[in-house]
Amino acid sequence: MPHRHYNGLKTALLFGLLGAVVLGASYLLFGRSLAALTIGLAIALLVNLGSFWFSDTVAIKAMRAYPVTEAEQPAMHRIVRELSARAGQPMPALFVSPTASPNAFATGRSPKHAAVCCTEGILELLSERELRGVLGHELMHVYNRDILTSSVAAALSSVITYLAYGAMFLGGGNDREERGGGFGALLLLILGPLAAGVVQLAISRTREYDADEDGAALTGDPVALASALRKLEAGTQQLPLPPEPRLQSTSHLMIANPFRAQDVGQLFSTHPPMRERIARLESMAAGIRR
């Protein structure tokens, strides 16, 4: 899988960044106390582990999805079984969300503990060939370990945000004036969440491009995925998900931005522009034909 190595490097860098930020915020809050720094780092590690280990459960519950048998969704099972066998990977659990908005996502901590979910809307909207392209994309998120990367990025964003508010409202340690703790806390409050969000958005956008490319290579049909993305762009704008907190926390997993453009500005969208994704896939298809 061509992008797995790079995603592993991104994850390692994110772990390092998270640890550094937590230690820095703990210093602002509690001073040079070794115990406080140790507690801060432990919290960061626990948040990362929890968000990663339970990522599949959280996402599936947020979308109120239910497991489906082969008798209930024969095409979905047939496509995923074929693509999993082609990739030499185990068959993931399959779910359907009772949602009219057309979308799909994959989650889980490893290929052996993965889940792929389609909404009822996407199953009605796409042809079987287009659905195959979408499922190839989602499987590559699993095989590229994107769920681990995105879980760490999300944890990074959350921890920095909470620590920023803590630094502001709880104040610094005993040497606060010497360190300029009040000013440092204010900077952390303003810049911390912004920096965390930028990192998370960059990771999310990159992994979507990678999953498009690798998924199209897995199916051998980039045109089908491009066609599916074109339909999904229109479908999610006509039938968006409500911007509720439980859905916002899982939106980065979905193949298409599930919210209206005015609800989530383009600059701060977790997804790259759909026209750019489609253009890349069409260029890929042209290269295959040549």
Q: Delimit the domains of the chain by residue range.
A: 1-290
Global pTM value: 0.75
Give 115's strand partners. Answer: 93, 107
Confidence category of residue 120, pLDDT binned at 50, 70, 90? very high
Percent of the chain whose pLDDT exceeds 90? 42
Residue range 205-219: mean pLDDT, rounded: 92
- 66-67 and 93-97 strand pairing: antiparallel
* Mean pLDDT (whole number) for 27-44: 59
**Arithmetic mean of pLDDT, 265-283:** 81
For the segment 115-121, the average pLDDT, to the nearest whole number, is: 97
**pLDDT given for residue 247 in this prediction:** 80
- The confidence band for 176, taking pLDDT boundaries of 50, 70 and 90, is very low
Q: What average pLDDT score do residues 34-56 get?
A: 62
Contact 175, 32 (CB under 8 A): yes
For residue 98, pLDDT beyond 80 = yes
Cα distances from 44 to residues 23, 34, 37, 49, in angstroms, run 9, 15, 11, 9
CA distance linking residue 220 with residue 110, whole number of Å: 24
Strand boundaries in the chain, DSSP class E: 66-67, 93-97, 104-108, 114-119
Give the integer Cα–Cα distance in Å for 121 and 124: 5
Enter the DSSP assignment of 54: T
- Residue 52: its pLDDT value, please? 62
Considering the chain, what percentage of its residues have pLDDT values greater than 70? 58
pLDDT, average across residues 109-132: 95
Q: Ranked by mean pLDDT, which of 115-129, 163-177, 240-254, 256-270 comes out on top?
A: 115-129
Burial 233-251 (b: 16+ CB within 10 A, else e): bebbeebbbeeeeebbebb
Tokens standing for residue 225: 């995925």
Which pLDDT score is estimated for 251? 82
Give the pLDDT of residue 259.
87
Supply the DSSP string of 61-75, one letter for each residue.
HHTT-EE--TTT-HH
82 is catalytic: no
Q: How confident is the model at residue 177 (pLDDT cuts 50, 70, 90)?
A: very low
- Choice among 70, 82, 130, 138 that is catalytic: 138
**Under 8 Å between Cβ of 112 and 92:** no
Q: For residue 267, what pLDDT band results from cuts at 50, 70 and 90?
A: very low
Phi and psi dihedrals of 166, rounded to 5?
-65, -40
Mean pLDDT, rounded, of the chain: 79
d(CA 258, CA 105): 11
With cut-offs at 50, 70 and 90, classify the pLDDT of residue 1: very low
Task: State the chain's maximal CA–CA distance in angstroms.
Answer: 69
Residue 180 φ/ψ region, left for φ over 0, alpha for ψ in the -120 to 50 degree band, beta for the rest: left
Q: 273 pLDDT exceeds 80? A: yes
